[in-house]
Amino acid sequence: MSVDMSLRIAGVKWKNPVTVASGTFGSGMEFADFVDLNTLGAVTTKGVASKPWAGNDTIRVAETASGMLNAIGLQNPGIDTFLERDLVFLEKYDTVKIVNIVGKSIEEYVDVAKQLNDTSVDMLEVNISCPNVKEGGIAFGQDPSAAAEVTKAVKEVTDKPVIMKLSPNVTSIAVMAKAVEEAGADAISLINTLTGMKIDINRRDFVLANKTGGLSGPAIKPVAVRMVYEASHAVEIPVIGMGGIASGADAIEFLLAGASAVSVGTANFKNPCVTAEIIKDINDYLERNGFESVRDIIGIV
Amino acid sequence: MIYREKVSVIGNIQLTDDIFDLNVKTKDIAKAVIPGQFINLYSSDESRLLPRPISVCEATGDTVRLVYRVVGEGTKEFSTLKSGDEIFVTGPVGNGYDVAFINDNFKSAVLFGGGAGIPPMIELAKRLTIETNVFLGYRDVLFLNEDFPESATVHIATEDGSCGTKGNVMDALAQSKITPEIICACGPMPMLRAIKKYAQENNIKAYFSLEERMACGVGACLGCVCKTVKTDEHSKVENARVCVDGPVFDAEEVKI
């Protein structure tokens, strides 16, 4: 490999710009049969709360044209199990460990962040954008001052770089991005899912038990590219781009739009080996086009 | 271990209006199959993102037989597969039935299959070495009833009474006068609920293969959970993943 795929996000060195989107990859365990986790730039875990969360009723998932809706409701086993089981598993791999944290109140975000501070975790991603839980999640993600408040509170208790994960379900992504940057965020990641709905015309009822769910997959990619472009022009901190990335070409689009790194989400369901293919394809593109480093294409359009 | 393979289609024939019989040649999957496990089939259409989980009907040599109902665009696409076509799959997925436990601890077993839940009962019946009675429930048109091993006695129930007992599998069981020692069942939820009630009232051990809408199909996304009586060891809440913690559950341990 003559191309330099490495980069730094908030001071943390990644071997390449590819991670996975929270919630689509567990803590990596379920994908270890398909992907050598050592080859990923980072693994981003499913959201972790201070206590176990049961999530929503089923049906939780539905396919849509070039996309899917989910309303899992942030089911997770809680921080204790995460530390004892998931983190111990991830420590076996040479990859950046990003833990996505969730809370129903600022105190809960702070509690999880504190418990992760003296661990091997490399970065925190704060989820203020889940559309599927009533309290927490999106409640902090649609109001710039609430988003800033969570950012400040988490930054105060952690030494780890903090990535704020933003929702696309806002009027101005630039305003949200600036709000969390000013509050001390080290990076931002976007987009989380777009709120959607699917109705079963034969049952004449909502498909999802939660009625609404988060839309992901290639269907949302143009929206995501536009928002990554807008956000990266609004702030100085790095942007991790995601939303419908299913190929190397998709990932390159995000990098050109201004993302310093990318996350692959729903595409892992279509092809559990897709992350490795995307890393290879980015490398090949750079080589073919005479770029020495992946850093040379970030935000150049 | 869950394998991802590009498998080639050996045959794909129509059994009834909406039931198809697909045979694929695998590298490692067939040899690893436990009855009750399933295979994820991936659409070749880029706009259909989610794999379709289909239970294994039979695993013989390197061949996996999948008998499935066409219920939507994804399964409709699979119904058009021809010999020589290739398709991506992952599998085998799930826990499957504990065949050794059943063979070692019981003298006889009763299997129930309803509609699209019939296929996994064939591989299970093939592996059981104890007396086996199989009760199959159909709306009207029969399929797979002649594919069970000779060691198993097949009883049929049809809703319209065109064959066997008129009614459901419980009616056929009553007519047979058989008292199950252990039950294994796969089929629609009303059938499983009736079997669970019967098993509880008569203090009979029962195992169910459950179905739920799935997304990743490999245990990561938590889309396909079922409610459990006790706190699940993996999730730490009263929810278990149907795909990898199931699809086979002790009837006493799940709320259906």
Q: Six-digit token pair at B134?
A: 């199989």
Examine the residue annotation and report whether A130 is marked as an active-site residue of this protein: yes
Cα within 13 Å of Cα(A153), Cβ side: 19
Q: Using only the alpha carbons of chain B, give its radius of gyration.
A: 18
B256: contact with A, CB 8 A cutoff: no
- Domains in chain A: boundaries: 7-55+71-197+215-297
Q: Does residue A205 sit in helix, strand or coil? A: strand
Closest C-alpha among A193, A179, A129 to residue A151? A179
> How confident is the model over B167-199, as pLDDT tens digits?
999 999 999 999 999 999 999 999 999 999 999
**Torsion of Cα atoms, B124 then B128 then B130 then B132, to 10°:** 20
Report pLDDT digits (tens) over A36-83. Answer: 999 999 999 999 999 999 999 999 999 999 999 999 999 999 999 999
The pLDDT value given to residue A2 = 82
- What is residue A1's predicted lDDT score, i.e. its pLDDT? 53
Please calculate the CA angle A113-A115-A117 and round it to the nearest 5 degrees.
70
| From A130, A163, A188, A220, active-site residue | A130
User: With contacts defined as CB-CB under 8 Å, which chain A residues touch B51?
Assistant: 269-270
| B140: closest CA of chain A, how far (Å) | 22
Backbone angles phi, psi at A97, to 5 degrees: -105, 115
Tokens of A10: 């908030």
DSSP string of A65-119, one letter each residue = TTEEEE-----B--HHHIIIIIHHHHTTSSSEEEEEE--SSHHHHHHHHHHHHTS
| pLDDT above 90: percentage of residues in chain A | 95
Per-residue confidence (pLDDT) for residue A4, from 0 to 100: 98
Please state the separation of Cα B67 from the chain's center in Å: 10
What would the two tokens of residue A108 be? 């809960």
Global pTM exceeds 0.90: yes
Distance CA B91, CA B95 (A): 11
- The predicted complex's ipTM stands at 0.95
Examine the pLDDT at A134 and tell me if it is beyond 70: no
The closest CB to that of A269, out of B50, B236, B238, belongs to B50
Mean pLDDT of A184-205: 97
Q: What pLDDT, on a 0 to 100 scale, did the predictor assign at position A136?
A: 63
Set of chain B residues whose Cβ sits within 8 Å of the Cβ of A266: 49
Chain B residues closer than 8 Å to A46 by CB: 220, 222
Look at A77 and B237 and tell me if their CB atoms are within 8 Å. yes
Low-confidence ranges of chain B (pLDDT < 70): none
What does DSSP say about strands B182-186 and A96-101: parallel, antiparallel, or unpaired?
A: unpaired
Paired with A163 in beta bridges are A125, A187
Q: Write down all domains in chain B, each with its CATH number in brackets.
A: 3-93 (2.40.30.10), 99-209 (3.40.50.80)
Q: What is the pLDDT of residue A135?
A: 65
Q: How far off is chain B from A175, nearest CA to CA, in Å?
A: 31
CATH number at A7-55+71-197+215-297: 3.20.20.70
Measured CA angle at B217 (ends B75, B16), to 5 deg: 25
- Token pair listed for A164: 């704020």
User: A272, B235: Cβ pair inside 8 Å?
Assistant: no
Residues 20-59 of chain B whose Cβ lies under 8 A from any Cβ of chain A: 42, 46-51
Name the residue among A30, A72, A218 with its Cβ closest to that of B218. A30
* Strand residues in A116-246 grouped as ranges (E): 123-127, 162-165, 187-190, 194-197, 199-200, 205-206, 212-216, 239-242
pLDDT single digits (tens) A271-295: 999 999 999 999 999 999 999 999 9
Task: Say yes or no for a CB contact (<8 Å) between A30 and B224.
Answer: no
